[in-house]
Amino acid sequence: MIIANGILTRQSLAGEVVIVTGGGQGIGYEAARALAWLGAQVVIAEIDKQAGKEAAATLNRELGQNRFTFIHTDVADESSVNHLAHEALLSYGKVDVVLNNATIAPLGAVQELSIAQWDASYGVNLRGPVLLARTFLPGMIQRQHGVFACVSSTGVAFRV
């Protein structure tokens, strides 16, 4: 693992509880993997049930049982984010880090994409971070401890 070549140790995040949205694949999966290698307990919050379950199972086999938990989550849905918080707090008593990695990027000409596709994108990319922040930041502020980070990337999401 590349992170092993740096100055951080396998105990750098010991005792920390991290939520990674979109952690079932890609950047989120690798971020979850690295955070657990650093000692964190990781909650994989993923909309794709199969990807989330498989990610947690695979990573638990690789890095140790009970290091990863999967919670089915749609970050655009307030009740789903509330469920994520309830389950994470029930399991771990706190959340120290939220790494919001979930995103949707509809591709295609603006006139060809449906309004439903745009609405889904706005829900995940705009509403999701706000729901997550409103849900998890108060506890971090109260404990004067925590990190809330959003992963972004650039690319051509639409064309005229």
For the question of whether the overall pTM of this predicted structure is more than 0.85, the answer is: yes
CB-CB contact of 33 with 150 (8 Å) = no
Distance CA 157, CA 136 (A): 29
pLDDT digits (tens, 9 = 90+) for 54-91: 999 999 999 987 899 999 999 999 999 999 999 999 99
Between helix 128-143 and helix 78-92 the angle, nearest 10°, is 30
CATH superfamily name and code, 9-150: NAD(P)-binding Rossmann-like Domain (3.40.50.720)
